[in-house]
């Protein structure tokens, strides 16, 4: 079932890896929704660090993923694929996608779509799926976060970090973060972080141990890897859980297994994008049930650093690579 759709659309679909300059608007055919998919008339698309890695040719693309950039969108349902029944034409939704978001139209499996949280517009809603699916699955499913747990999150003002602070505090966790400047530490504290450590001037593991009277933190959500991993293990409490979601300081780390054995640590990690639709759909159900209602009463909110028109996607990537942002960068699609 479709509204009248144009044959072509504007999209950001770089033909080769490179700097932000490869992100130029091009004309592409409007995609058709496949079975079980909806086609979204995109009004806003979130920008995430994995987009930068993809642009540089450094991201391991799952087979069949669209080459058009973009992992999350919000907009109206423009067409329904065969067997798609959950949403109606014209309904405002947001979605997690495996690619294709930087465009006028984007198909999405209906299970990966969610209604807009109460009170949020397209820009705010487009900023949510990638970080909420990631933080929810890693903190609560992989690391078994429970009320009262203390969690150390690196990159406290990143898209992921901001979501971890807000969601963690809303669900009764104690959140410590690391950031690369005093200004970012202040921003993280203003968002609700219980402790913000400037990793350029302080040893984060020592500070985390001191703040827990030597006990250590229950969970580390790590996007840094490399030489951070042994320090993370030092900062963990007995029965602590270490979850890797990225390795900005490199994929290799030297571990002292004595720590792992003596403190009975669990090391885990995950990558959202290549997971199957059924898994992502189950996450979407959990978010709709347990997390989306927290936006309605103000316990959660979107944290938007800046917005750029789709045609200026290159500037949005420049902003992300400059590293000064707090929260999410979002593309507006006319």
Ligand X SMILES: NC(=O)c1ccc[n+]([C@@H]2O[C@H](COP(=O)([O-])OP(=O)(O)OC[C@H]3O[C@@H](n4cnc5c(N)ncnc54)[C@H](OP(=O)(O)O)[C@@H]3O)[C@@H](O)[C@H]2O)c1
Nearest distance in Å: CB 102, ligand X: 15
Beta carbon nearer to ligand X, 17 or 323: 323
The candidate with the shortest Cα–Cα distance to 46, out of 94, 93, 9, 109, is 94
Beta carbon nearer to ligand X, 12 or 80: 12
Q: How far apart are CA 130 and CA 187, in angstroms?
A: 21
In sign, the C-alpha dihedral spanning 199, 202, 206, 208 is: negative
Beta carbon nearer to ligand X, 30 or 47: 47
Q: How far apart are CA 99 and CA 14, in angstroms?
A: 13
Say if residues 38 and 96 touch (Cβ distance below 8 Å).
no
Q: How many residues does the chain have?
A: 334
Nearest distance in Å: CB 133, ligand X: 8
Beta carbon nearer to ligand X, 212 or 244: 244
Beta carbon nearer to ligand X, 116 or 196: 196
Beta carbon nearer to ligand X, 1 or 271: 271
Ramachandran class of 264: left when φ > 0, alpha when ψ lies in -120 to 50, beta otherwise = left
Nearest distance in Å: CB 71, ligand X: 8
Beta carbon nearer to ligand X, 138 or 150: 138
Nearest distance in Å: CB 292, ligand X: 19
In sign, the C-alpha dihedral spanning 146, 151, 157, 158 is: negative
Chain-centroid distance of CA 174 in Å reads 20
Beta carbon nearer to ligand X, 93 or 135: 135
The neighbouring-strand residues paired with 25 are 12
Residues lying near ligand X in the complex (CB under 6 A) are found at: 48-50, 130, 134, 154-155, 157-161, 179-180, 184, 223-224, 245-246, 248-249, 270-272, 320, 323
Nearest distance in Å: CB 211, ligand X: 19
Nearest distance in Å: CB 245, ligand X: 4
Q: What is the largest CA-CA distance in the chain?
A: 64
Nearest distance in Å: CB 166, ligand X: 13
Q: What is the DSSP string of 189-211?
A: HHHT-SEEEETTTS-HHHHHHHH
Q: How far apart are CA 39 and CA 48, in angstroms?
A: 21
Nearest distance in Å: CB 130, ligand X: 6
- Token look-up 């747990």 returns 149
């Amino acid at each position: 079932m479709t509204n009248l759709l144009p044959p072509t659309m504007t999209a950001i679909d770089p033909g080769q890896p490179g700097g932000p300059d490869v992100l130029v608007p091009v004309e592409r055919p409007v995609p058709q929704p496949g079975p079980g998919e909806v086609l979204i008339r995109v009004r806003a698309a979130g920008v995430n660090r994995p987009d930068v890695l993809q642009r540089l040719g450094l991201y391991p693309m799952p087979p069949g993923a669209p080459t058009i950039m973009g992992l999350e969108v919000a907009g109206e349902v423009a067409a329904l694929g065969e067997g798609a029944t959950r949403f109606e034409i014209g309904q405002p939704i947001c979605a997690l996608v495996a690619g294709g978001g930087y465009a006028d139209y984007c198909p999405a499996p209906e299970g990966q779509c969610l209604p807009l949280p109460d009170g949020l517009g397209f820009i705010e809603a487009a900023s949510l799926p990638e970080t909420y699916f990631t933080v929810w699955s890693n903190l609560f499913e992989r690391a078994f976060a429970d009320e009262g747990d203390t969690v150390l999150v690196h990159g406290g003002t990143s898209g992921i970090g901001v979501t971890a602070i807000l969601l963690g505090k809303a669900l009764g966790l104690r959140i410590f973060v690391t950031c690369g400047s005093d200004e970012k530490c202040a921003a993280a504290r203003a968002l609700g972080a219980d402790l913000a450590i400037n990793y350029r001037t302080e040893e984060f593991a020592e500070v985390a141990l001191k703040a827990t009277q030597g006990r250590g933190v229950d969970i580390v959500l790590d996007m840094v890897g490399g030489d951070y991993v042994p320090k993370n293990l030092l900062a963990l409490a007995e029965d602590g859980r270490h979850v890797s979601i990225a390795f900005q300081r490199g994929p290799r780390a030297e571990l002292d297994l004595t720590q792992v054995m003596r403190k009975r640590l669990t090391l885990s990690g995950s990558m959202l994008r290549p997971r199957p639709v059924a898994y992502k759909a189950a996450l979407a159900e959990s978010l709709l049930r347990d997390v989306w209602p927290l936006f309605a009463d103000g316990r959660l909110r979107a944290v938007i650093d800046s917005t750029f028109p789709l045609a200026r996607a290159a500037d949005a990537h420049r902003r992300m690579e400059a590293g000064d942002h707090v929260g999410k960068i979002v593309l507006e699609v006319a």
